[in-house]
Amino acid sequence: MREPVSFRVLRVVGLTLLTLFVLGPIYVMVSSSLKPLGDVQGKFTWIPSTITFDPFIDIWSTVPLARYFGNSLVISLLATVCSVVLAISAAYAISRYRFHGRSAFRITVLSTQMFPGILFLLPLYLIFVNIGQLTGFALQGSRLALVITYLTFSLPFAIWMLVGYFDSIPRELDEAAHVDGAGPIGALVRVVLPSAAPGIAAVAIYSFMTAWGETLFASVMTNQDSRTLAIGLREYSTQTNVYWNEVMAASLVVSVPVVVGFLLLQRYLVQGLTAGAVK
């Protein structure tokens, strides 16, 4: 049955308005990053009267953006790797073995997602400070502190998602690997992980994006040396001026790793999320 013409027109109009709503801020960001500072601070114009690439050059000298970029990259990658490795180990144990407290552990992992992140800010900060006072190891203000902090958010979701994904993989595959002489680790590496590649990719993307753009904990847990990009962008605003064109240019640079990674792995992300939700 063909759709009514009015419905098709309404759908086209709705999708067009939605596209403009999404692309409008992106266009403003790109156009503002190509304008001199005076044009950005003056009356807004949709088409830049003068196009300059100086903001993309000045962003590296106005603030130590390269150091912030390196901190964010190291923290995000470490948090992603740790989250994936720990989630795979925990999810495989929950999915394949029966032990006391298994159900309670699954419920506890899922229940942690019910609490807002700000509830953990003060307890984590006090824990890191007390560890530093007792051991002499300055954990607060270090990149390791942020890695541990981000694991508290990404790891429960990663475990919960991979448990459902591992449950969908037939146990006969594990048994066949055992017959061939593989142990539990061998069966996990050779059989389960290749079959769960979309789910693992989805967990990795989620963990990386969570760490890359987080601001609340990064503003408290870092110092000048360990500051991340999300916090470093605030330094383009001074007491006397705000370098809006450099803010827009830096925002574009910051978004490049996440956008590129998402475009390259979006197929696995969609497969992982849909399969994990259904299975």
Q: Please state the domain count of the chain.
A: 1
Instruction: Establish if 30 belongs to a structural domain.
Output: no
Q: What is the reported pTM?
A: 0.81
Q: Which long-range contacts (CB under 8 A, 24 or more apart) does 109-113 make?
A: 109/156, 109/159, 109/160, 110/156, 110/160, 112/152, 112/156, 113/156, 113/157, 113/160
Instruction: Establish if 149 belongs to a structural domain.
Output: yes
Question: With 80 as the cut, is the pLDDT of residue 3 above it?
Answer: no
Question: With 50 as the cut, is the pLDDT of residue 255 above it?
Answer: yes
Instruction: Establish if 94 belongs to a structural domain.
Output: yes
Tokens of 110: 């899922």
Q: pLDDT tens digits for 105-132?
A: 878 877 777 778 788 888 888 888 888 8
Instruction: Establish if 124 belongs to a structural domain.
Output: yes
Query: Do 132 and 140 contact (CB within 8 A), yes or no?
Result: yes
The CATH number covering residue 218 comes to 1.10.3720.10
Cα–Cα distance measured from residue 13 to residue 20, given in angstroms and rounded to the nearest whole number: 11
Residue listed under structure tokens 């795979």: 88
Question: With 50 as the cut, is the pLDDT of residue 276 above it?
Answer: no
Q: What are phi and psi of 141, to 5 degrees?
A: 90, 0
Residue listed under structure tokens 């003068």: 50
Cα–Cα distance measured from residue 222 to residue 141, given in angstroms and rounded to the nearest whole number: 4
Question: With 70 as the cut, is the pLDDT of residue 273 above it?
Answer: no
Q: pLDDT tens digits for 8-51?
A: 888 889 999 999 998 888 888 888 888 888 888 777 778 878 88
Give the domain range for residue 100: 57-278
Cα–Cα distance measured from residue 37 to residue 42, given in angstroms and rounded to the nearest whole number: 9
Confidence of residue 2 (pLDDT cuts 50, 70, 90): low
